[in-house]
Amino acid sequence: MEASPSLVTPDDAVARLRALGFGERETEILAEHFVDADARGKPGHGTSRIDWLASWPGLDPTARPERVVAEEGYERWESRGALGYLVLAAVVEAQLAWPPARARVVVAHNSAPTGVLGYWARKLAEGGLVTAVTATSPRRLGHPEGGPPLTGTNPLAIAVPSSDGEPIVADVSMAKATHGDALAGRAPLEDIVPFGGDQAYKAFALAVGLQLLVEALAGDGLGAVLLVARPEADPVPAFRALADGARLPGDR
Amino acid sequence: MEASPSLVTPDDAVARLRALGFGERETEILAEHFVDADARGKPGHGTSRIDWLASWPGLDPTARPERVVAEEGYERWESRGALGYLVLAAVVEAQLAWPPARARVVVAHNSAPTGVLGYWARKLAEGGLVTAVTATSPRRLGHPEGGPPLTGTNPLAIAVPSSDGEPIVADVSMAKATHGDALAGRAPLEDIVPFGGDQAYKAFALAVGLQLLVEALAGDGLGAVLLVARPEADPVPAFRALADGARLPGDR
């Protein structure tokens, strides 16, 4: 495998983010996400994104997201110009600080880019909360029968805590290859189509459903929707036993 | 296409359900679901299931589901021995009668079989509620690399209302062919594997995530989880315009 010139060390990542104007806490959040993405084999979402951030339209390193509705079963967040990574970090922190008694739907408006959704879902699961999260991204997937791009690659991540300490984290993009893969030179642009081959209509249908779910709840622009809930049961250990050592979603 | 001997008329469906002991209202609910499934090209979930119901273990046509927790942002339902179809019908009716101000998570325990999830999601969307719903089914999907069945075919249905009157309804099973298809003789049993061909690990990951999400929230046995929410926006008309006449999920 070729060495990637854009892969940087954690210290480099911090220095580059500080140079973009991010404060200490925001730098820590962003660096941890990017370094984790590299470590989990998702370099398209990793430290290679730091240079790309410099070209982010209207990048405002001082912007902070705001929770504009906070109810037991529902929260709404506005990015207020903050990067989606920082919006989701704030959402995660808030859920862990004030978890729902049962379940809560959290909607984030104007919250791109969100990076690796499984990363945020894993943090919630490690804090004991069952999580499902989806987010829209720029329209890149067309109808399997052709036509213009209609939906983002719209990943769905689901994380479930486990008493054995290691949550299950499923994190699936509806695209054959993600834009991150293409950015990292690991996939050709023409692979940014719904996955599934002759059943690509299934991944396309999921991408459409998730796209409109987010748009209906968050409003215009790119957004994210999370379901966070306290588990009533602890199904992961028995599931791992049934799988008898097979590698499960989210395992390293 | 061969005529299916098990396809029955709506009147026949009603008569057969009454003969199984179902009351007038329950018969109406079940017949409408089965006839709609036939009409939408899903005969594996259609009237062919009526004879199959006769062999349902412990079938109790008089059982009624019960809502055991009813909060603004969360509901929990127990089937109390009622068929999943009737549980979801009661859940749908309750959401439309008492919709969430913002959003609500609804969990159903012991709620098999649920039939066509898109059917229930469509009803909620027709009533103005954005809906995502998933449900577990008997374990039939194995790891793409082999081994025992680990998850159900675990469909995910997402329905979004539209001011143009026709909701978008995405309804995707994680299996290449559903058990219903196999029951109806439309697919071989060996097609009950995660869809996606050489990317079947994606559908498998979604099936695992949905399986454990439902099990963590509902507890043991088969269950269902719904997210229902009032839309903040009306994205479907613009999406249809962008798609420029292409057939979208849920269109006939």
- B134 and B169 inside one domain: yes
**CB proximity list for B19: less than 8 A, separation 6 or greater:** none
- A189 and A150 inside one domain: yes
- Among B37, B62, B87, the domain-final residue is B62
Q: Does residue B250 fall inside a structural domain? A: no
* Arithmetic mean of pLDDT, B205-222: 97
Minimal Cα distance from B104: which residue of A?
A73
Q: Does residue A249 fall inside a structural domain? A: no
Structure tokens belonging to residue A245: 């050592």
Residue A54 to residues A17, B230, B251: CA-CA distances in angstroms? 9, 37, 42
CB contact under 8 A, B209 and A72: no
User: How much is the ipTM here?
Assistant: 0.96
- A8 and A119 inside one domain: no
Give yes or no for A40 touching B (CB within 8 A): no
pLDDT classification of B1: cutoffs 50, 70, 90: very low
- B20 and B84 inside one domain: no
Q: Is the pLDDT of residue A3 over 80?
A: no
Q: Does residue B104 fall inside a structural domain? A: yes
- A118 and A237 inside one domain: yes
Minimal Cα distance from B128: which residue of A?
A216
Predicted pLDDT at A156: 98
The CATH number linked to B50 is 1.10.1530
Predicted pLDDT at A7: 62
More reliable by pLDDT, B188 or A208: A208
pLDDT classification of A2: cutoffs 50, 70, 90: very low
Q: Does residue A26 fall inside a structural domain? A: yes
Residues of A in contact with B104 (CB under 8 A): 73, 105
Q: Does residue B157 fall inside a structural domain? A: yes
| DSSP string over B119-184 | HHHHHHHHTT-EEEEEE--SS-EEPTT--SEEE----EEEEE--TTS--EEEEE-SBSS-HHHHHT
Q: Is the pLDDT of residue B5 over 60?
A: no
* CA–CA min distance B45, chain A (Å): 18
- B91 and B3 inside one domain: no
Q: Does residue A55 fall inside a structural domain? A: yes
For chain A, give the longest Cα–Cα distance: 49
Please report the beta strands in chain A, taking only residues with DSSP state E, as ranges in sequence order.
66-70, 74-78, 103-109, 130-135, 141-142, 149-151, 156-160, 168-172, 223-229
Q: Does residue B252 fall inside a structural domain? A: no
- Among A15, A46, A61, the domain-final residue is A61
Give yes or no for A127 touching B (CB within 8 A): no
* Arithmetic mean of pLDDT, B33-44: 94
- Tell me: the pLDDT tens digits for B20-31? 999 999 999 999
- Among A39, A61, A83, the domain-final residue is A61
Q: Does residue B248 fall inside a structural domain? A: no
> Which of residues 177 through 196 in chain B touch A, CB cutoff 8 A?
195-196
Give yes or no for B67 touching A (CB within 8 A): no
Return the percentage of chain A with pLDDT > 70, whole number.
97
- A67 and A48 inside one domain: no
Minimal Cα distance from B195: which residue of A?
A196
CB contact under 8 A, B209 and A73: no
- Tell me: the pLDDT tens digits for B162-190? 999 999 999 999 999 987 778 778 889 88
Give yes or no for B11 touching A (CB within 8 A): no
Return the percentage of chain B with pLDDT > 70, whole number.
97
- A109 and A165 inside one domain: yes
pLDDT classification of A248: cutoffs 50, 70, 90: very high
* CA–CA min distance A118, chain B (Å): 11
- B98 and B171 inside one domain: yes
pTM higher than the cut 0.90: yes
- Give the residue numbers spanning the domain of B138: 63-243
- A45 and A67 inside one domain: no
Number of domains observed in the structure of chain A: 2
Q: Is the pLDDT of residue A240 over 80?
A: yes
Predicted pLDDT at A179: 78
- A210 and A109 inside one domain: yes
Q: Is the pLDDT of residue A185 over 90?
A: no
**Mutate which of A213, A239, A242 to disrupt the B interface (most B C-beta within 10 Å)?**
A213
**CB proximity list for A249: less than 8 A, separation 6 or greater:** A168, A169, A170, A171, B204, B205, B208, B209
- A74 and A25 inside one domain: no
- Tell me: the pLDDT tens digits for A128-175? 999 999 999 999 999 999 999 999 999 999 999 999 999 999 999 999
The CATH number linked to A177 is 3.30.1370.60
